[in-house]
Amino acid sequence: MNDTARQYDAVIREALVTHSDLGDTAREVDRDADLYAIGLTSLHSVRVLLSVEDALGVEIPEQHVGRALFSSIGHFNDVLLDITGSTSGAAR
């Protein structure tokens, strides 16, 4: 994972800690874990999305916004890397 991917990962996790009921679990959860399966709700996903966009100064295009965005921290991170034109985080 490159530096940008690590930064995005930290921002996503902090947003999950702050804006969902996952709490500190979000700091330790595997980046490929299904966030809805471990307790994320649709209301919390909106709060997390807004927090991430605000923290990074980006707007995630509508075609990326939906349940799939939150399929995992890794997927969310990959979407951020893609829309910002950053180097792929695939080499984890």
| pLDDT tens-digit series, residues 16-67 | 999 999 999 999 999 999 999 999 999 999 999 999 999 999 999 998 998 9
pLDDT band at residue 5 under the 50/70/90 scheme = very high
Domain count, the chain: 1
Classify residue 25: in a domain, yes or no. Answer: yes
Residue 38's domain spans which residues? 3-84
Q: Phi then psi for 65, rounded to 5 degrees?
A: -85, 125
Whether the CB-CB separation of 87 and 81 falls below 8 Å is answered with yes
Provide the whole-model pTM: 0.89
Domain membership flag for residue 92: no
Q: Is 92's pLDDT higher than 50?
A: no
89 inside domain: no
Residue 91 has pLDDT above 80, yes or no: no
Residue 27 placed within a domain: yes
Return the CATH number at 26. 1.10.1200.10
Residue 90 lies inside a defined structural domain of this protein: no
Task: Determine contact, residues 85/4, Cβ cutoff 8 Å.
Answer: no
Residues 66, 64: Cα–Cα separation, whole Å:
6
Tell me, yes or no, whether 73 lies in a domain.
yes
In a domain, 33, yes or no: yes
